[in-house]
Amino acid sequence: SNRVPFASLPPSLTAERQGPVAILKLNRPQKRNALDDGTVIGIDAFFAALPDDIRAVVIAGEGEHFCAGLDLSELQERNIHEGITHSALWHRAFEKIQFGKVPVIAVLHGAVVGGGLELASSAHIRVADRSTYYGLPEGSRGIYVGGGGSVRIPRLIGVARMMDMMLTGRTYSAEDGQIMGLSTYLTESGEGLAKGIELAQRIATNTPMTNFAITHALPRIAEAAPATGFAMESLISSIAQADPEAKNRLTAFLEGRAGKVKRPD
Ligand code: 1HE
């Protein structure tokens, strides 16, 4: 693992690489990794300037919690128009996570609340350790999610559960979050980062074309009208297949040189 020239980052973020995998950490543990403007702008810059040889990204948090959400100390001074542009700033940054160059894995622990859950839900895979808990305290703070949460969180857990979390302040454990679909991996406490990096290394061995199809085309196809979805699927699958590396891999399988699909452990 060596340091590389990622975009210049604010002190609230650190980045390192392990081969083709970049690890971006929220690094403001004294504020529970609350997201101030500088951090959100830093996330945007990091994904916008991701080096071309990075094939997957892991986002994690330093300290006891993944992320306490919006930095509430910055909220007090804002008028309506500044509120809109602030929300748009978050949308732009998280759009670069969801629809950027490479798959992104969020590694969760401790509090994953408010904007922290919005950040996590813009990643493609979530790994939670057993210390994780989820909440949307916006309802009780007199505010509302502004970082894409109303778009992305219902797609993971449904409108009814998100509404309940916001109306009542209900929180969910790591185990419940796993059952509901907030995470798709659950690890012992402290083991999430290793799991996230392992998954990222595996994802980095896929062809970039396949990873693009999965992260960019799949969610759009899933939301398209079926006739449009089938047409998009035919197009993207034939584009993926045309990649010479896809042909190499199929030949390798047919010649017995590639791994078989394994039963789960
Ligand atoms: C903060 C923030 C923050 C902590 N903004 N400063 N998010 C929330 O409503 C969650 C608010 N935070 C909490 O409920 C708790 O801090 C935690 C459950 C996350 C962690 O508890 P704990 O006991 O480990 O830490 P703490 O003692 O509460 O916090 C340590 C310090 O971090 C303390 O500051 P200090 O100067 O007294 O040391 C806290 O004030 C500070 N801190 N969280 C600012 N969020 C785009 S819209 C998104 C909308 C939202 O995200 S709303 C949800 C906001």
CB 201 within 8 A of CB 20: yes
Residue 3 has pLDDT above 60, yes or no: no
Coil, helix or strand at residue 134: strand
Q: Smallest Cα–Cα separation from 5: which of 59, 52, 37, 44?
A: 52
pLDDT at 79 over 80: yes
pLDDT digits (tens, 9 = 90+) for 144-180: 999 999 999 999 999 999 999 999 999 999 999 999 9
Tokens of 49: 């300037």
Other beta carbons within 10 angstroms of residue 202's beta carbon come to 11
Instruction: DSSP for 175-210, please give it.
Output: HHHHHHTS-SEEE-TT-HHHHHHHHHHHHTTS-HHH
110 lines ligand 1 (CB under 6 A): no
The band of 4, judged by pLDDT with boundaries at 50, 70 and 90, is low
Atom 13 in ligand 1: residue holding the nearest Cα: 68
Task: Give the pLDDT confidence of 222-262 residue by residue, as tens digits.
Answer: 999 999 999 999 999 999 999 999 999 999 999 999 999 99
pLDDT of residue 160: 98
70 alpha carbon to ligand 1 midpoint, in Å?
8
Residue 138 annotated among the catalytic residues of the structure: yes
Q: Is residue 106 predicted with pLDDT exceeding 60?
A: yes
Does residue 1 surpass a pLDDT of 70? no
Indicate whether 129 pLDDT > 60. yes
pLDDT of residue 245: 92
Query: How far, in Å, from the CA of 32 to the mean position of ligand 1?
Result: 6
ipTM over 0.95: yes
Of all protein residues, the one whose alpha carbon is nearest to atom 53 of ligand 1 is 114
pLDDT score for 58: 98
* Residue 35 CB–ligand 1 contact under 6 Å: no
Residue 12 clears pLDDT 80, i.e. is over it: yes
5 pLDDT band, cuts 50/70/90, is confident
Considering 16, 138, 198, 223, which one is annotated as catalytic?
A: 138
Beta strand segments in the chain, E: 13-18, 21-26, 56-61, 104-108, 111-113, 125-129, 133-135, 172-173, 185-187
- Cross-strand pairs, 59: 24, 106
